Amino acid sequence: MSEMRDELADLVADVRAALEANRALGVVDESVLDPVVEAVAPADPPASAPTSSASTKEQPALIAVPPGSTLFAPGAESLADVRQALGDCTRCGLCEGRRNIVFGVGDPEADLMIVGEAPGFNEDRVGEPFVGAAGEMLDKMLVHVLGLQREQVYIANVVKCRPPDNRNPAPAEVASCLPFLMRQIAAIQPRLILVLGSVALKNLLDTTDGITRSRGHWRELHGIPVMPTFHPAYLLRNPAHKRLTFNDLKAVRARYDSLDGKR
Ligand code: SF4
């Protein structure tokens, strides 16, 4: 009897937690009971998602920089060294329209690193990634689902200068800037990476898979587990997909909790 009471108490706690997170992210109310249903019987993967071959056991995706490359030498340089090396960069044409280089922000020893696509209007003005409406959404994701403050993670983008009219960065621009992101990753040595949106996913992991197909399934970059999910700006335009992102973040939280000796 007391066992049953404990289980019920756990379920109530789950519902409360889901309610709080769903409200915070603006997820539709009818989905709020899903965590309880999942707790009893895990749901089948969505029809459009890869089968179990794309789960945690899948082969790592192709990577942008081969292991052993001098571009990824863990511990070879600090984050400050990377920033100094980037300097007042003019390596690609994106330097022409920028106000600020948006290098990155957060804990240089973070266990969780978040990688987005490129600075937008607000980021360019402030010089910090994910400010404005998308930044607020990311902060909600961090606080209410991952249980982390912005200061506890490290956030950076694939390119560090704003593309005009918020277009996707061109391949040549990514090729110029991506090595600095890889050096940031090597300096920070995060133990998990959350990648936001299709552009970041395709360039960081050198895959042609889109975000809709890839999200929710662990990948790997130089041995670091990588979870792709939707970009917060996309979620603002497509709120129905917040629920899927909520599930992806729960998977990240579970893996984060299982890390030994968090820094
Ligand atoms: S986007 Fe990157 S490579 Fe291009 S100018 Fe800015 S910092 Fe340099």
Domain ranges of the chain: 62-257
Instruction: Tally helices (H) and strands (E) across the chain.
Output: 10, 6
User: Which of ligand 1's atoms lies nearest the C-alpha of 95?
Assistant: 5
Q: What is the pLDDT of residues 80-110, one digit of tens each?
A: 999 999 999 999 999 999 999 999 999 999 9
The residues near 58 (Cβ < 8 Å, ≥ 6 apart) are 50, 217, 218, 219
User: Which of ligand 1's atoms lies nearest the C-alpha of 118?
Assistant: 1
CA distance linking residue 134 with residue 128, whole number of Å = 12
**What is the CA(88)–ligand 1 centre distance, in A?**
9
User: Which range (35-49, 64-78, 112-126, 177-191) has the least confidence?
Assistant: 35-49
Q: Which class is domain 62-257?
A: alpha beta
Does residue 32's CB lie within 6 angstroms of at least one atom of ligand 1?
no
Does residue 11's CB lie within 6 angstroms of at least one atom of ligand 1?
no
* Helix/strand/coil for 4: helix
Which is more confident, 54 or 208?
A: 208
**What is the CA(9)–ligand 1 centre distance, in A?**
52
Residue 221's nearest CA partner among 56, 62, 50, 52 is 62
**What is the CA(261)–ligand 1 centre distance, in A?**
35
Residue 59 reports pLDDT greater than 80: no
Residue 152 confidence (pLDDT): 97
Question: What is the amino acid identity at position 14?
Answer: D
What's the average model confidence in pLDDT over 204-224?
Answer: 94
Q: What is the pLDDT of residues 4-22, one digit of tens each?
A: 455 445 444 444 544 454 4
Residue 20 confidence (pLDDT): 52
Count the neighbouring beta carbons within 10 Å of the beta carbon of residue 35. Answer: 19
Residue 23 reports pLDDT greater than 50: yes
Return the DSSP state at 44. P
Which is more confident, 41 or 167?
A: 167
User: Which range (11-20, 68-77, 124-133, 252-261) has the least confidence?
Assistant: 11-20
pTM over 0.95: no
Does residue 170's CB lie within 6 angstroms of at least one atom of ligand 1?
no
